């Protein structure tokens, strides 16, 4: 017993001299910010003084530490008269570059906190940083009374060396979804779809880096680009397979889904495409997006529709392929109502307007343009003579069924078609763009009252509707239509499968949708061509489930009674693709 007493005395005597491995110290450094005024107010220990940025966006304040530290916690205080909107979605970042172009998020404020006192946030990131900053939420001046940073003391800043060389750093995520983090040079925002901006891109999944690299970013889309929540196109310098998606490629899309308050319509449309076993269905996964230290909301990262392995798998072309058989493919064309806005487009002999997406304008040569033009004209002429040898009827039927089941007003508004080498046929697909499908378009609402193929109320490009009606009215096509629908609707595509998919996906994005609609307050507002705003995410999802079950039965009825007379019945439609509603 006396030996234990002596051991205890020795331990107590030596305890002050043993390094405190779990301790953290308040760190000091040089104040830095987006502005040069009142910096000291955020570090003077006085809650009655504050820093306020001069601009209502992109304002920030932070510290340049004297070394790289593992950050343990950060304290922030806001003025006593601050509103929650002044700090909600404010972000704390760490960087080892003074420009913050490769900064990592450390924490995002997502709940209301107490004013006029310091609130402490635990930082779980294991990486060391020299530069720490707080960025105010968008459209709000960055205003803060105090900023405190705590990290490993100098005596144990080398503790990171205890980490094995194979151990990965731990990173912050805003929700359970992967987090896409992008910073542009000088925090410049993309403003158009013509000009890329240089950036760094990092994708964090399960708190580890999934994908990272240098690249560039620009806006994408047409009408969706005019909305407040912007869609983007990113292009890595080197090919990547983010989140394990099938393609290894440079270019990827970030879809904003701003007019779709379920945030699920594009994923559901693509799921239906995959269930119909289309030759190619674009890969698509939900993510959160932070751009230049601002939370942009819930997005889908998706394939770019282009030739390539894991994407549209048609034969690769070169400028030397100008004679048969090489000149016969592969080609990716797009019949598009906006084709005439492009620098180069083709109008077929019967009035279908299209652009050539592959080979693109930089790689295609006149011989290839002439070939695809002449070949498409020949296929079109045969269709008008009720010959379909040059059209793949199976892909055409699947395309029509997918668009009908989804109630997509943009069926034949924009249509991708492929032709491969040594194959005389044109194939329909891949499908794309479902954010205003599923009864989300005031121009054709209510879709559930439309008891014929939906393209008869939509806005097909050029003469695509007449082209489609000729094919669909043929007795052989009608028989194949009935056979394909029966084959897939009895087991592979059922109401239960589709509702279960919606349930699973809505649960997956539930955390993210809360932050998305905190950032974009539109649940009670009509956006783009919404017919109605139902007021909540749950209500929007419930209607989506109700719609798909009812539309399934309607499509089933349409297919069963389909004949040439029924298909060619005339219906009134609105005149033209008007977009009367934007953001109210």
pLDDT at position 162, please? Answer: 46
- From the list 259, 218, 211, the residue with the least C-alpha distance to 238 is 211
Are 87 and 32 members of one domain? Answer: yes
Q: Is residue 107 part of a domain?
A: yes
Domain stop point among 252, 279, 303: 303
Domain stop point among 276, 303, 330: 303
Q: Per residue in 114-133, pLDDT tens?
A: 999 999 999 999 999 999 99
Are 153 and 205 members of one domain? Answer: no
Residue pointed to by tokens 């998919």: 501
Q: Is residue 449 part of a domain?
A: no
Q: Is residue 532 part of a domain?
A: no
CA distance 313 to 279: 9
Which runs of consecutive H residues, i.e. helices, occur in 433-573?
Answer: 464-472, 475-489, 495-508, 510-519, 537-561, 564-567
Q: Is-contact 280 245, C-beta < 8 A?
A: no
Q: Is residue 268 part of a domain?
A: yes
Mean pLDDT over 545-551 rounds to 98
Number of domains observed in the structure of the chain: 2
Q: Is residue 37 part of a domain?
A: yes
Are 158 and 183 members of one domain? Answer: no
pLDDT at 447 over 80: yes
Local structure of 208: helix, strand or coil: strand
Are 189 and 247 members of one domain? Answer: yes
Within 10 angstroms of residue 406's Cβ, the number of other Cβ atoms is 26
pLDDT at 20 over 70: no
Are 31 and 100 members of one domain? Answer: yes
Mean pLDDT over 390-409 rounds to 97
Q: Which of 9-18, 101-110, 458-467 has the lowest mean pLDDT?
A: 9-18
Give the domain CATH number at 58.
2.60.120.260
- Residue 458 in tokens: 């939509």
Q: Which domain holds residue 53?
A: 25-162
Mean pLDDT over 404-419 rounds to 95
Q: Per residue in 283-307, pLDDT tens?
A: 999 999 999 999 999 999 999 999 9
Q: Is residue 315 part of a domain?
A: no
2 vs 352: which has the higher pLDDT: 352
- Residue 213 in tokens: 């690299």
pLDDT at 573 over 80: no
Q: Per residue in 174-211, pLDDT tens?
A: 999 999 999 999 999 999 999 999 999 999 999 999 99
pLDDT at 157 over 80: no
Confidence grade of residue 161 (pLDDT, cut at 50, 70, 90): very low
E strand spans, 126-222: 128-135, 143-144, 146-151, 179-184, 197-205, 208-219
Q: Which of 72-76, 148-152, 167-171, 576-580 has the lowest mean pLDDT?
A: 576-580
Residue 376, C-beta contacts closer than 8 angstroms, at least 6 positions apart: 333, 346, 348, 352, 354, 426
Confidence grade of residue 55 (pLDDT, cut at 50, 70, 90): confident
Q: What DSSP string runs through 4-49?
A: HHHHHHHHHHHGGGS--TT--EEE-EEEEESSSSSGGGGSSS-TT-
Are 203 and 288 members of one domain? Answer: yes
CA distance 548 to 563: 24
Domain stop point among 246, 274, 303: 303
Local structure of 184: helix, strand or coil: strand
Confidence grade of residue 483 (pLDDT, cut at 50, 70, 90): very high
Are 92 and 152 members of one domain? Answer: yes
Mean pLDDT over 538-544 rounds to 98
Q: Is residue 241 part of a domain?
A: yes
Confidence grade of residue 106 (pLDDT, cut at 50, 70, 90): very high
pLDDT at position 38, please? Answer: 83
Q: Is residue 9 part of a domain?
A: no
Are 136 and 62 members of one domain? Answer: yes
Are 78 and 156 members of one domain? Answer: yes
Between the CA of residue 374 and those of 332, 377, 393, 504, what are the distances in Å? 15, 5, 20, 47
Are 144 and 212 members of one domain? Answer: no
pLDDT at position 582, please? Answer: 60
Are 203 and 244 members of one domain? Answer: yes
Are 140 and 201 members of one domain? Answer: no
């Amino acid at each position: 017993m006396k030996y234990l007493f002596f051991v205890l005395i020795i331990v107590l005597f030596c305890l002050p001299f043993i390094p405190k491995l779990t301790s953290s110290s308040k760190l000091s450094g040089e104040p830095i910010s987006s502005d040069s005024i009142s910096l000291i107010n955020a570090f003077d220990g006085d809650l009655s003084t504050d820093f306020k940025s001069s601009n209502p966006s992109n304002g920030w304040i932070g510290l340049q530490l004297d070394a790289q530290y593992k950050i343990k916690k950060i304290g922030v205080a806001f003025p006593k008269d601050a509103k929650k909107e002044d700090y909600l979605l404010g972000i704390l970042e760490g960087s080892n570059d003074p420009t913050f172009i490769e900064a990592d998020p450390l924490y995002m404020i997502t709940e209301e906190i107490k004013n006029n006192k310091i609130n402490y946030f635990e930082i779980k990131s294991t990486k060391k940083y020299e530069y720490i900053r707080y960025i105010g939420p968008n459209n709000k001046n960055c205003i803060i009374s105090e900023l405190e940073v705590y990290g490993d003391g100098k005596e144990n800043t080398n503790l990171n060396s205890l980490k094995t060389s194979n151990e990965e750093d731990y990173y912050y995520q805003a929700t359970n979804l992967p987090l896409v983090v992008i910073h542009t040079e000088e925090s410049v925002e993309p403003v158009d779809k013509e000009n890329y901006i240089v950036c760094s891109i990092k994708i964090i999944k399960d708190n580890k880096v999934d994908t990272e690299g240098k690249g560039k970013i620009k806006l994408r889309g047409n009408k969706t680009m005019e909305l407040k929540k912007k869609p983007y196109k990113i292009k890595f310098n080197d090919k990547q397979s983010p989140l394990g998606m099938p393609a290894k490629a440079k270019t990827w899309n970030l879809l904003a889904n701003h007019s779709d308050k379920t945030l699920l319509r594009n994923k559901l449309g693509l799921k239906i495409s995959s269930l119909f076993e289309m030759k190619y269905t674009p890969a698509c996964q939900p993510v959160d997006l932070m751009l230049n230290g601002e939370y942009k909301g819930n997005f889908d990262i998706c394939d770019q529709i282009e030739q390539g392995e894991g994407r549209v798998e048609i034969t690769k072309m070169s400028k030397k392929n100008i004679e048969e058989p090489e000149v016969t493919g592969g080609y990716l064309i797009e019949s598009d109502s906006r084709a005439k806005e492009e620098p180069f487009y083709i109008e077929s002999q019967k009035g279908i307007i299209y652009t050539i997406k592959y080979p693109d304008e930089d790689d295609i040569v006149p011989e290839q343009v002439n070939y695809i033009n002449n070949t498409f004209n020949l296929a079109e002429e045969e269709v008008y003579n009720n010959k379909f040898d040059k059209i793949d009827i199976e892909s055409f039927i699947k395309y029509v069924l997918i668009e009908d089941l989804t109630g997509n007003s943009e069926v034949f508004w924009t249509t991708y078609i492929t032709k491969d080498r040594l194959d005389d046929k044109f194939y329909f697909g891949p499908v794309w763009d479902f954010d205003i499908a599923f009864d989300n378009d005031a121009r054709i609402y209510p879709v559930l009252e439309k008891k014929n193929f939906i393209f008869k109320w939509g806005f097909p490009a050029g003469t695509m509707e007449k082209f489609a009606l000729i094919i669909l009215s043929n007795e052989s096509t009608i028989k194949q239509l009935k056979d394909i629908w029966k084959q897939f609707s009895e087991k592979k595509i059922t109401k239960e499968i589709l509702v279960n998919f919606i349930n699973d996906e809505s649960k997956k994005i539930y955390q993210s949708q809360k932050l998305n609609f905190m950032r974009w307050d539109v649940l009670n507002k009509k956006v783009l061509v919404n017919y109605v705003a139902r007021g909540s995410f749950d209500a929007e999802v419930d209607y989506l489930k109700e719609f798909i079950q009812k539309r399934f039965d309607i499509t089933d009825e349409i297919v069963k009674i389909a004949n040439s007379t029924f298909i060619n019945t005339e219906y009134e439609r609105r005149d033209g693709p008007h977009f009367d509603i934007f953001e109210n």
